[in-house]
Amino acid sequence: MRKILLLFFLIALFPNTHAQDYLITFAGSGASSIVDSVIVENITQCKDTILAGSDVLHLMVTLNSGSLPAIQRIPLSVWPNPFTDHCFLEFELPETENVTVGIFTVAGKQLIQTCLYLRQGHQLLQVNGIGQGIYLVSVRSKSCSYAARLASVNPSPCIPGIVSIAVQKLLHSPECEASRSVIEMQYTAGDLLKITGKSGIYRTIVMLVPTQSQLVTFPFVDCTDADMNHYAIVQIGSQLWMAENMKTTKYRDGSAIPEVPDSAGWSNLTTGAWCNYHNDTTEAALYGHLYNWYAAGNVRNLAPMGWHVSSDTEWTVLIDYLGGDAIAGQKLKENCSTRWAYIDTTWGTNVAGFSARCANFRSATGAWSLAPNNDHDCFFWTTTEFSLTSAFTNALRYCYRDVWRSGFPNKKQGASVRCIHD
């Protein structure tokens, strides 16, 4: 009875609420369940960090002046809670020492107990295999004594276990050399993160405003063109988009799309062609190629297998999802280290993860867009024709927040291409 009373006293003393900081872990689904690496960009602050896919991102949260007062960090945090397969225990250890972790039923029966030798500092333990029910967890050492409630909804329990995945590695276990690291990143409440997960040839973007510790799952989908360029993808509403501009020099069947650098040759074309802006080969890596409509709308299809060049209707669905053409352009433009310029109020926010860069364009005469610092407008072809000589484009402009839809661009114009999943 004394043991039960002591445990309930500890629970009352240390209520189970989430810590102010957040821990983000990563997993893959779809084409791959493995995450090789993760790029985390805080696009509100224009800061970034790179993690291994097995690492834990520790967001050290500060609050905006208009936010609620900070909640004091509790001795022991449990998340997620309730949980199914596993949960995490998060706490600070004042000294390097032996730590005893025990899990008890509410009747006081010990379910599991383990002793770990942990380094001083921030700790992250994983609890596995617990069946349905309410439990009490106790963390005890010479320097600390913490407790919290656990709520499991696991219908298929297995052998219970407690392991350190370790902000600090276990000193006595050589297996811990392969354990995950915890990477710290400053974070202000409300900041927008662009998180890019990579697995082999696959890359998927997830946009996130964290409000708690959580698992981020990247749905990996192949997006590989005939030149074996592999493109990042992003889910926006019900649509799955490429998050980069096309840079293939071949149609899907492997036949070549001619590069036409000279203006006279470009202006006389009625067949597919591509070029780099100002014929600068360094443009392709960041901004992709410019294509005339005869390439973008070609029946041989320059899109990767399983994808197609977007139609005007599909662009309308995207724009409507982002609040309409008057404001959608700003949400599609990339921010941080871009050449969108001039007016702060039209600078990109990239809340959709579309990451549109200022690729500029080439006119039907072969002339380049009149951009003093290569920072003007970006046109995207659609497959939708307006007439025998023109087709619909959707443009993002340096000095406006909108998406400018037009059916008048001549099919000879050089513009960017984005594809959408079939």
Whether the ω angle into residue 80 lies within 30 degrees of 0, i.e. cis, is yes
Answering whether pTM is above 0.75, one says no
pLDDT digits (tens, 9 = 90+) for 134-148: 899 999 998 888 988
Which of 110-119, 167-176, 180-189, 213-222 shows the lowest per-residue confidence on average (mean pLDDT)?
A: 167-176
Residue range 108-130: mean pLDDT, rounded: 88
Q: What is the pLDDT of residue 375?
A: 54
Average pLDDT, the chain: 86
DSSP conformation letters of 2-58: HHHHHHHHHHHHS-----SSEEEEEEEEET-S---EEEEEETTTTEEEEEETT-EEE
Residue range 36-61: mean pLDDT, rounded: 92
Domain-wise residue ranges, the chain: 2-217, 224-421
Q: Which position has the token pair 């050290």? A: 60
Q: What is the pLDDT of residue 237?
A: 97
Q: Residue 316: is its pLDDT beyond 50?
A: yes
Residue 285 burial (10 A CB sphere; 0-12, 13-18, 19+): exposed
Cβ-contact 292, 273 below 8 angstroms: yes
pLDDT digits (tens, 9 = 90+) for 30-40: 999 999 999 99
Whole-number percent of the chain with pLDDT over 70: 86
Q: What are phi and psi of 270, to 5 degrees?
A: -130, 20
**Banded pLDDT at 180 (limits 50, 70, 90):** low
Q: What is the pLDDT of residue 6?
A: 40
**Banded pLDDT at 55 (limits 50, 70, 90):** confident
Q: Residue 171: is its pLDDT beyond 60?
A: no
Q: Which position has the token pair 């977007």? A: 310
Residue 270 burial (10 A CB sphere; 0-12, 13-18, 19+): exposed
CATH class of the domain defined by 2-217:
mainly beta
Do the bridges between strand 22-30 and strand 214-220 make them parallel or antiparallel, or are there none, so unpaired?
A: parallel
**Banded pLDDT at 212 (limits 50, 70, 90):** confident
- Distance between CA atoms of residues 409 and 407, nearest Å: 6
